[in-house]
Structure 1
Amino acid sequence: MVHLTLVTVMFHRINSELEGPAASGPHLPKDERIMSNTSRPVGDAAAQAPSPAPGGSGLPRDIKVMLVAAFLIAIGFGLVAPVLPQFATTFDVGATAAAVIVSIFAFMRLVFAPAAGTLIVKLGERPVYVAGLLIVAASTAACAFAQNYWQLLVFRGLGGAGSVMFTVASMALVVRLAPPESRGRVSGAYASAFLIGNVCGPIVGGLLANFGLRVPFLAYAAALVLAALVVQTQLSHVPAASRQPGATAPAMELKDALRDSAYRAGLFSSFANGWATFGVRMATVPLFAVVALGAGPESAGWALAVFAGGNAVALTFSGRLADSLGRKPLLLTGLVVTGTATAAIGFTHQLPWFLLASACAGIGSGLLGPAQQAAIADVIGNERSGGRVLAVFQMASDSGAIVGPVVAGLLADRLGYGWAFGVTGGMLLAAAAVWLPARETFRRPAAKGA
């Protein structure tokens, strides 16, 4: 019932974005968009910007295509996430070796991120996106036919390389295709599509697992192939940023982005968010629920569910607020709420308070995500490739997701869970402090008659 309610809320949230409600916040004129260091003439940019939906409201068609692909990818990932550790143990290995199968994917994403950024600059976003999807599809299908642990490890690792290719390429496409005045909405809708897929995927994956632990891998591979077909056929008209007619601006270099205080702050908050949301939440929160609270295994599932619920609630409005109030207010609020709630988890002693803190952390994460993505998009702009810049941004998150659980685990073992969650929450609060002096990337339109 919780999952069904979540999916319903998120479906209506995306549907409202696609239809384009009448009141979507103030729109910026195209000549007000934020550009870093180098820029192109406004006339050229306007000619290349994605066309809005008929009637001037709603999201561009190309963004809708990206949302469909995001949903297919997310639901596919959700298919294998619950069964992967179980499948690894069928090769007569212990829990540690099974965990390595999960970690190798994240490690390969981190290692191959710079190469993904370079490929995007050289080849363009769409070819790298499609190639990454097909690499993960092939490696996932190969996992289904793995005959021993080492084959599974190699195949899963190759999937990590493909994963970072399509992740960074999709981010670059969204940055370039999203209208500057709607970047918050687009980021929120994109996150919602992933959330729906992540909620639905484990449900379907659990059902498919009844037919054998190898079946979800084949289903995931099929979903990725379908996503690749959607992107290849529906975005075939989208040229690479460096190949657009009349293109004069070079790809944004990392050194240029690092001169921007917003990008530097974004790297720190991406690392902290990866540490807390993608690392500790998945690795340490379930252990805390069972070991420290003495609750049953189902309590970990409830914690993840209420986090997703809080996230879903915040995503219904956070993107629009980021497009009206600015990026920093949502960023700061999200980091403070998530950081405080995460730190509080370690000091809860009863299940209801634990679930309440988890829900609050989810709300904070939902406030943070769209604003953070929109801020990075503002830094790069629509007119040039930001492959390398986005790759480093993604590396920051992946690094946090790898380092966070290790540090939190050590602190929990030696000093207690209060320290583990306190330090994790402190990282998020420190990220808020870093954002305080950073520039606001969102430019409000001039008042009428001014």
Structure 2
Amino acid sequence: MSRPEPRDPADADVPATPDDPRTDPHLSESPSAAREKVPQPIKVLIAAAFVIALGYGIVAPVLPQFASSFGVGVAAASAVISAFALCRLVFAPASGAVVNRLGERPTYLIGLIVVALSSAATAFAQSYWQLLLFRGLGGIGSTMFTVSAMGLIVRLSPRTMRGRVSGYYATAFLLGGILGPVLGGALAGLGMHAPFLIYAGALFVAVLVVWVRLKDETLGSKGAGAAQPAMRVREALDVGAYRAALASSFSTGWTAMGVRVALVPLLATQIVGDGPAVAGLALALFAVGNASALTVTGRLTDRMGRKPLVLTGLVLCGLATIGVGLSTTVIAFSVLSLLAGVGSGTLNPGQQAAVADVIGPDRAGGKVLSRYQMCADAGQIAGPVLAGALADSAGFGWAFGVSGSLMLLAALAWLPVRETLPEGARGETTKG
């Protein structure tokens, strides 16, 4: 019986990865084993993701005001946010090498500690330049725990539930990001320094939980990591699904992460006309749509395959984004923002599961995962700048039109890709 081929026909000469459906233990288990619940270590990572996102959400509303308190202008205050993302992008290749050398779990813990110390130092910054430096250092720690967390999920998730696990993990981050600003607003009376200290405390709690609950986890240890052959980036690039995932990761970073946050509030004020209230509503509806989709599409990705959900999400998010730029009423603006969120939530689990399929559980994929994350960071940095310049010169319609078109181009990149979920794994039901 021939195995399903997860690579492009043109890539038939590329050696198969160890994540082979013929040897994957999760595909040879009994049906009852295949229906097992999410592994306990994954639940720990999901809980830690919620705590991390909650803490970040607490400081996000305060950070620009804190920067402005040093007497700098809007551009300089915004640069503090960009410094975090820029350091993530620049350090991403090195973080992949660190993961391959130390293992996922140690890198994850070190990354969290770096961000915690950075946040605590930020609270005591005495000048704008100190603030800029401390936030930038936090970006280094952020990419370390992000890439290593993805590596742990690849290593610990059964292949038949990778989509579901990716959905749960993304939902935890999303919910923390939604609740964080609400909690941050309630803590506003404590002053601008308190949120950063609270964030640092939350991160140390996450460190303690992961250290204790994953203490016996050997898959992410240095010894286990040394026994795992590292997948080279060039090897991953030979697989069509990985190349397509890089394209969709960049377009998602540009549109769903960057342009949405930077330009939607401006569009609400200048075009729709109801200012901050409508902008907040649009951002909230995007989050609602995203969360609603994630609760369903993770499971569908493990049943139907990665590609159909990724394509559906890219097309829906792309068309809705184009429509947002053409909106002239609050109703249209709100509905299209909701649909864009649904599209984003539909594509993410499949996209991440496809990357995990390419790497497999028996390879060290730090560098491969770091390049994938770099594409999202690059899009998140470039999108607001370039789309903002386009909005100034040609209008919001063009800015959102180009941004949505990037999602549609990414969908074209996925069309020739062969499905990475093997035929034998499709249609299997899982219990939460």
Indicate the residue corresponding to 1:402 in structure 2. 381
Give the secondary-structure state (helix, strand or coil) at the position aligned to 1:366: helix
Shift of 1:444: 2.0
State the partner residue of 1:311: 290
Give the counterpart of 1:337 among 316, 335, 357.
316
Tell me, yes or no, if the aligned pair for 2:391 and 2:399 is still in contact at 8 Å.
yes
Change over 3 Å in CA distance of 1:40–1:64 after alignment to 2: closer
* Maintained 8 Å contact 1:134/1:225: yes
Residue identity (%) = 54
- Between 1:52-61 and 1:210-219, the stretch displaced more is 52-61
1:208 to 168, 184, 187: 187
Residues of 2 paired with 1:447 and 1:336: CA distance? 23
Aligned to 2:242: 263
The Cα shift of 1:209 comes to: 1.7
Secondary structure of 2:187's partner?
helix
Question: Aligned to 2:64, which of 85, 110, 124?
Answer: 85
Task: Please name the residue that 1:219 is paired with.
Answer: 198
Pick closer, same or farther for the CA change 1:56–1:348 going to 2, 3 Å.
closer
Q: Structure 2: how far apart are the matches of 1:234 and 1:202?
A: 28
> Counterparts of 1:268 and 1:179 in 2: how far apart (Å)?
26
CA distance in structure 1 between the partners assigned to 2:321 and 2:63 by the alignment: 27
Q: Could you tell me which residue of structure 2 aligns to residue 363 of structure 1? A: 342
Deviations 1:257-312 (A, max 9, x none): 00000000000000000000110011011111111222121211111100011111
Indicate yes or no: 2:260 matched with 1:281.
yes
| 2:38 alignment counterpart | 59
Task: Provide the residue aligned with 1:298 in structure 2.
Answer: 277
CA contact (8 A) 1:178 1:186 kept: yes
RMSD: 2.5
Residue segments in structure 2 that go unaligned for 5+ positions in a row: 8-14, 428-432
Between the aligned partners of 2:187 and 2:388, the Cα distance in structure 1 is 32
Match of 2:12 in 1: none
Superimposed CA distance per residue, residues 351-370 of structure 1 (whole angstroms, 9 cap, x where no aligned partner): 11101110000000010111
Distance apart, 1:55 and its partner CA: 10
Q: Counterparts of 1:328 and 1:447 in 2: how far apart (Å)?
A: 12
Q: 1:244 to 1:139 in 2, by over 3 A?
A: closer
2:245 and 2:16 mapped to 1: Cα distance?
Answer: 17
Write the letter of the residue equivalent to 1:303. A
Q: Secondary structure at the match of 2:180?
A: helix
2:136 to 154, 157, 170: 157
Question: 1:246: Cα distance to partner?
Answer: 11
CA distance in 2, matches of 1:447, 1:66: 26
Q: Distance in 2 between matches of 1:402 and 1:74?
A: 20
Aligned to 1:430: 409
Residue in 2 aligned with 1:135?
114
Amino acid at match of 1:346: G
1:350, CA displacement in angstroms?
0.7
